[in-house]
Structure 1
Amino acid sequence: MGSKYSIKRLDKRAKSSFVALMVSSFEKDPLFVYLFDDGDQNRFQYRARAFVSFLFDKSFFLFEEIWGIYDKGRLVGAYIIELPNVKRTDKIIGGLLLLSGIVKLMTKLSLSTIAKLNKYMKVSRSHVKNRRFHYLIMIGVLPAEQGKGIGAMLIFHILKQVNEEQNTNGIALDTENKNNVGYYYKLGFTLNSEHQFGDITIHRMIIIT
């Protein structure tokens, strides 16, 4: 990693900067457009912020990890990753504690969006459900900072962690942006399968370690 950047695990104080980063980086993402875009930019922003805010809070209940990369104190990239070694009982307890957050999210999204999200959650990561992977839930880089290798730095940071653990098969992710497939190929991922979901295609990618 270049000396101008620093990477660290995020805590709850980083929520506002994380949400702003992810909403801006996913503004044209096919999944976010499919879920939240009805032609009104203000409603899109409101729904996308509510969803990313929920994902941020969820990570602390379900023992996921959020890491970010900083340039002179400014968050320029981040990811959320689901770990393969979390105890089932911890997940159940965390899920119960998360119920209020789920209810809150449902008040901010339309019924059709909730239905789409539920269907998406059923099919996403299903290609690795019986195998132990670090599952990359979300990764993003500020649009103005893209093309500088920040995303690759984040992926290599995950790989370093994965290589230091024995209880994992590697990294898995789903992307709905076809342009990302070639990018992930260059970082060592392979295309495991594809699944058509409404108007978008889920590209299921993995790295075996």
Structure 2
Amino acid sequence: MQAIPVKVKNVNVYPYVDWSGGGIGPVILPVIEGASGTYAVDTLIISVFYNLDLDSVSQSAKLGMHQRYVAMGETEDEPPFTTPWMYCTNTSDQPQFGRTITMNKPESEAINMGTTVEPAYITLGPLTDVTVSQLFPPPAIGEIMLIENGSGNVIATKTGTPHEMGIEVTGGKRFGTLRAGMKNIMITGKNKEGKTFTMGNLTCLSPNEPALFLQEFRF
């Protein structure tokens, strides 16, 4: 299941500055103060996904899309929290921030950055007429359509024990917001023989182009 977002309050958001100089660093003023919303942290194999969604807020300075920010606040039980630096992925009055960190890749930027994740996998076979949907967690019944009429490939990671298998999806019509860390993903398509291919229990590792979905290979 996906991580359950935790309600947060008194959230201040600051521009992230990587200060490596000596003495007193620059004075950083918050761009958002006293906000509330939700914060979620989830993991997949060697990746950690961070997402912060804030309710309607006023901004003392305009947020920058894909700029780096850090947030500090309190949970409903009032323990304080501080996020790692995250990218702003929505600059509206209901801003969103997110980041994916992959172990052994400290500068990994595989979330909503418009960049391509370097393929660390091999292609096993092409797919056409690809449909991507997210199943509701039980006991609910149903699904949400995410991508329709895409193309792609069945893939497997080059390293790992066990290896991970999954699907990369290119093009197609997107519905709603596809986000890194989304689970319970089901993908169907047609292989080169024209037969229907289905893979479930996938997690979105990257929502970019191509979108990347992986599952653990089970012997």
TM-score by structure 2 length?
Answer: 0.25
**Structure whose residues are more often strand by fraction:** 2
**Structure number with higher helix proportion:** 1
Q: Which is bigger in relative contact order (C-alpha 8 A, separation at least 6)? A: 1
TM-score calculated relative to the size of structure 1: 0.26
